[in-house]
Amino acid sequence: MPHIDTDPYRIRPGAPVRLAERPSEDDGGLDKDDGEDILDDNVDAMRDLQERLFAEAEQALLVVFQAMDAGGKDSTTEHVFGPLNPQGVRVASFKAPTELELRHDFLWRVHAKAPAKGYIRVFNRSHYEDVLIVRVHEWAPADVIERRYEHIRAFESLLADAGTRVVNIMLHISKDYQLERFRRRLERPDKHWKFNPDDLAERERWEDYMRAFEVALERTSTEAAPWYVVPAETRWYRNALVSQIVREQLEALDPQYPPPSFDPADYPPGSIG
């Protein structure tokens, strides 16, 4: 079975990040059949690990997806987490904050969605919006945004201390690839609902967004909550790589089935019924 080394995609704490130097299209030297085999193998392993995580009910996993529009957050979630038992997986999407949410600190609505013990939670966008789009549009003062990096590190450290493993994943695409995806949405009537004309205006701020991502990755990638930059344009490789990252995080948790509350020897299978 071929294997993907996830280490080159991980952002080391304190390391400088230059997204222009990181490929957005990559196949890891594999072919599509290899990628699909890796995905299938990882999903099988994740099913077993998820059942153990749910049964143990002592730990949790939070997977955060961030990307530019058309970066593949929905598709990646479907392919990697769709095959798992839906009883133990929850997905949360974060849109523009409501009036009630704006009355609280920026982490209030996010903390409420953190996974309970035994669960996997996927964030489609997240608390990082408050140092990405908010930074780009200057919707908060620079000194407020500056403090948010520390708040995020502290928040993710708190989750880690409480038994929740956090992994942040940027699905990395190019500006040209995004334009291609937008055009496809307009060409297909069944995809019109995914097209938002406002996204075209955001494209004009592409370089600002890339710099905002770079700063966020540099300031917040930690041992407790690492960032990975996943090349997302070769979608089968994206899915395989993300599944490998998630599998490794679950294996690091090493969940165990809890001991029974009774003596199984008292109930031989042939004695019941």
Q: How many domains does the chain have?
A: 1
- 71-85 pLDDT tens trace: 999 999 999 999 999
Residue 103 near residue 91, CB atoms below 8 Å: no
In-domain check, residue 259: no
In-domain check, residue 168: yes
In-domain check, residue 262: no
Q: Is the pLDDT of residue 270 over 80?
A: no
Q: Is the pLDDT of residue 266 over 90?
A: no
Q: Which residues contact 111 (CB under 8 A, 6 or more apart)?
A: 155
In-domain check, residue 229: yes
In-domain check, residue 86: yes
Q: Which domain holds residue 77?
A: 7-253
Kindly indicate the confidence band of residue 22, based on its pLDDT and cuts at 50, 70 and 90. Answer: very high
Residue 248 has what pLDDT?
98
In-domain check, residue 51: yes
Q: What is the mean pLDDT of the chain?
A: 96
Q: What DSSP character marks residue 146? A: H
CATH number of the domain at 112, please. 3.40.50.300
Residue 146 has what pLDDT?
97
DSSP letters spanning 56-67:
H-S-EEEEEEEE
Q: Is the pLDDT of residue 264 over 90?
A: no
Residue 122: left (phi > 0), alpha (psi -120 to 50), or beta? beta
- 48-59 pLDDT tens trace: 999 999 999 999
In-domain check, residue 107: yes
In-domain check, residue 165: yes
Q: How far apart are CA 132 and CA 135, in angstroms?
A: 5
